[in-house]
Amino acid sequence: MLLKAAANVLLTHTGLEEKEVLSLLEIPPQPEWGDLAFPCFVLAKKLRKSPQQIALELAEAISHEEGLSASAAGAYVNITLNRSVQIPLMLAELNKPDFLKPDIGHGQRVVIDMSSPNIAKPFGIGHLRSTVIGAALYRILGETGHVPISVNHLGDWGTQFGKQIAAYKRWGNEEQLQQDPIGESLKLYVRFHQEAEHDPSLEEEGREWFRRLEHGDAEAQRLWEFFVEVSLGEFDRMYQRLNITFDHVLGESFYNDKMQAVVAQLRAKELLEESDGALVVRLEEEELPPCLILKKDGTTIYPTRDLATAIYRHEVMKADRLLYVVGGEQRLHFQQVFAVLKRAGETWAEQCEHVPFGLMRFAGKKMSTRRGKVVKLEEVLDEAVARAQAIITQKNPDLQDQQEIAEDVGIGAIIFGDLKNNRLNEVDFSLEEALTFEGETGPYVQYTHARIRSLLEKAHARTHVAAHSDFNGTAPAQEKHSSELTDASSEMLGDAGWALLKQLDRYHGQLIRAVRQLEPSVIARFALDTAQAFNRFYAKERIVDGGRWRIQLAEQTADILASTLQLLGLKAPNRM
């Protein structure tokens, strides 16, 4: 809105395209210089004048426009907006659906592959990142006119289930597995690998069970279903705490009867070649290693299942675009899968996109399922909530619903601690850091939001404010009211309030940027900057008795903070 207002004026005076003007406009390094700065270098060639000369002339021309003033500084034109004109317009803009929910998706259907943990294995930190990033993208896309469709692509098939069954048959116990599904499964898995080192017959036993599973053997099937059920129960508890639901939970096994068609299609296109008894698609032109399709023993593998999956999402789910929120270590896998799709004549392969993310460590610890050295996610969540509870009790001992709020804050700290980082960055996660109420954290944003809500409660309790103001943001700018602070431009919000309003004005653009870059951290950063701008406003200016513009600004700050928290997957409690 702010940029557009300035851009409109510049358009008429420079003859440049709107897009160009928008991309050139800068925020001056010192707020005293103005609200926006326009560099004149690009015009020098066209006008055959020095940028300094152009800046002088442009500033002079613009000064005659209403609602702003301009001055030249070297090659720049600094533009200062007339606050009493802009404040009511900008505040009104912040309420508009076009501003809050820009329709840039036009109903595009985006299937998001997210979370996708493996049955009978611990829910890894990578799965946590995929869940949290995927869910944020899901909401951000939904907010901007797309139709997002989330799929949890469970790893519920593969030779490891043969081993799992073999180990369970030898050493397993139903009750123990019920009680601690993943822990028990993991123990069995680890033991299987340890004992297999001395006893090679175990491997054969595992393969045999997988063969039986693939051929629909009743006992193998029953045991496999049991593993899936108990693991899923454990995952669901976590999803519930993270407040995540999926449109579809379709494991890899769902595609078992859909892979022969893929193999047939590849064969018909003469793409399959033999290599050591296995069948592969060679991808030399793409400079990629060959993609394995059928193993020597005729069984399908991970890439084959992903090919069938993609085709299903395109044909049955009617996906216009397919996103895969999966760790960066699978980059090659997705390059190969997308390349094979393209070779197979699926032109929509262009619409498939791997959305990778970096490794995350909890206090330096990585995860390794083989050796069983694991940071258990559930324990991390419990720990975060316990710490949040301790902080809240100390800060606000009389607070009601402490337990519930501690859950919101503790879980929120973890989600935000992840999402504030550019997704490709490696993250060394520290619970202590994620939970400080003053740092760049989820609790800091939540706390700022709660503080505004309680401030507003106070303000609304004051009858003179309630009686004389219209809080909908639709009131005419020059309406007289009894507040001691008048509408005189500099007094309306104060400098810190004006800075906050300019910050809120960025929301629309940042939402669009988050979509274009598929980057939730854009929203998290925006939330932090907004909370900071509000706290500066709070420290410097009167708010509760500061007149209706300030109350309205506070209200809209709280609403926008609540929206950003919601988009990222955090709760926004009104009290903390």
Q: Least distance to ligand ARG from the beta carbon of 253, Å? A: 12
Q: Least distance to ligand ARG from the beta carbon of 332, Å? A: 12
Q: Could you please report the per-residue DSSP string of 94-161?
A: TT-HHHHS---STT-EEEEE----BTTS---HHHHHHHHHHHHHHHHHHHTT-EEEEEE--B--STHH
Q: For residue 268, give every residue at least 6 positions away whose Cβ sits within 8 Å of its Cβ, in sequence order, or none.
A: none
Strand order in the sheet with 248-249: 248-249, 147-152, 109-113, 321-325, 352-355
- By beta-carbon proximity to ligand ARG, the closer residue of 129 and 451 is 129
Q: Least distance to ligand ARG from the beta carbon of 160, Å? A: 11
The residue within the footprint of ligand ARG, chosen from 6, 78, 81, 113 (CB under 6 A), is 113
Stretch that binds ligand ARG, among 112-120, 238-246, 368-376, 452-460 (CB under 6 A): 112-120
Say which amino acid occupies 560.
I
* Strand residue runs (E) in 295-343: 321-325
Angle formed at CA 269 by CA 268 and CA 275, multiple of 5 degrees: 90
The residue within the footprint of ligand ARG, chosen from 116, 300, 336, 351 (CB under 6 A), is 116
The residue within the footprint of ligand ARG, chosen from 326, 340, 485, 496 (CB under 6 A), is 326
The residue within the footprint of ligand ARG, chosen from 76, 227, 324, 416 (CB under 6 A), is 324
Stretch that binds ligand ARG, among 111-119, 375-383, 482-490, 512-520 (CB under 6 A): 111-119
The residue within the footprint of ligand ARG, chosen from 78, 118, 185, 469 (CB under 6 A), is 118
Q: Is 321 in the site for ligand ARG (CB under 6 A)?
A: no
| Coil vs helix vs strand at 250 | coil
Token reading at 425 = 């960055």
Q: Does residue 43 contact residue 10 with C-beta atoms inside 8 Å?
A: no
- By beta-carbon proximity to ligand ARG, the closer residue of 188 and 352 is 352
- Cβ burial of 342 (10 Å; 0-12, 13-18, 19+) is middle
Q: Least distance to ligand ARG from the beta carbon of 248, Å? A: 12
Q: Is 86 in the site for ligand ARG (CB under 6 A)?
A: no
Q: For residue 551, give every residue at least 6 positions away whose Cβ sits within 8 Å of its Cβ, in sequence order, or none.
A: 456, 459, 465, 469, 471, 543, 544
Q: Is 150 in the site for ligand ARG (CB under 6 A)?
A: no
- By beta-carbon proximity to ligand ARG, the closer residue of 121 and 502 is 121
Q: Least distance to ligand ARG from the beta carbon of 309, Å? A: 6
- By beta-carbon proximity to ligand ARG, the closer residue of 113 and 487 is 113
* Backbone region of residue 74 per phi and psi (left: phi > 0; alpha: psi in -120 to 50; beta: other values): left
Q: Least distance to ligand ARG from the beta carbon of 45, Å? A: 50
Q: Is 155 in the site for ligand ARG (CB under 6 A)?
A: yes
Q: Is 408 in the site for ligand ARG (CB under 6 A)?
A: no
The residue within the footprint of ligand ARG, chosen from 93, 205, 306, 491 (CB under 6 A), is 306
Q: Is 448 in the site for ligand ARG (CB under 6 A)?
A: no
Residue least distant from ligand ARG (Cβ): 155
Q: How many residues bind ligand ARG (CB under 6 A)?
A: 9
Q: Could you please report the per-residue DSSP string of 433-495?
A: HHT-SSSSSHHHHHHHHHHHHHHHHHHHHSHHHHHH--TTS-S-TT---S-SS---HHHHHHH
Q: Is 159 in the site for ligand ARG (CB under 6 A)?
A: no
Q: Is 156 in the site for ligand ARG (CB under 6 A)?
A: no
Strand order in the sheet with 272-275: 272-275, 278-283, 288-294
Q: Is 407 in the site for ligand ARG (CB under 6 A)?
A: no
- By beta-carbon proximity to ligand ARG, the closer residue of 205 and 306 is 306
Q: Is 498 in the site for ligand ARG (CB under 6 A)?
A: no
| Coil vs helix vs strand at 279 | strand
Q: Does residue 294 contact residue 302 with C-beta atoms inside 8 Å?
A: no
Bridge partners, residue 155, by sequence: 118
Q: Is 303 in the site for ligand ARG (CB under 6 A)?
A: no
- By beta-carbon proximity to ligand ARG, the closer residue of 255 and 534 is 255
Q: Least distance to ligand ARG from the beta carbon of 251, Å? A: 9
Q: Is 153 in the site for ligand ARG (CB under 6 A)?
A: yes
Contacting positions for ligand ARG (CB under 6 A): 113, 116, 118, 153, 155, 306, 309, 324, 326
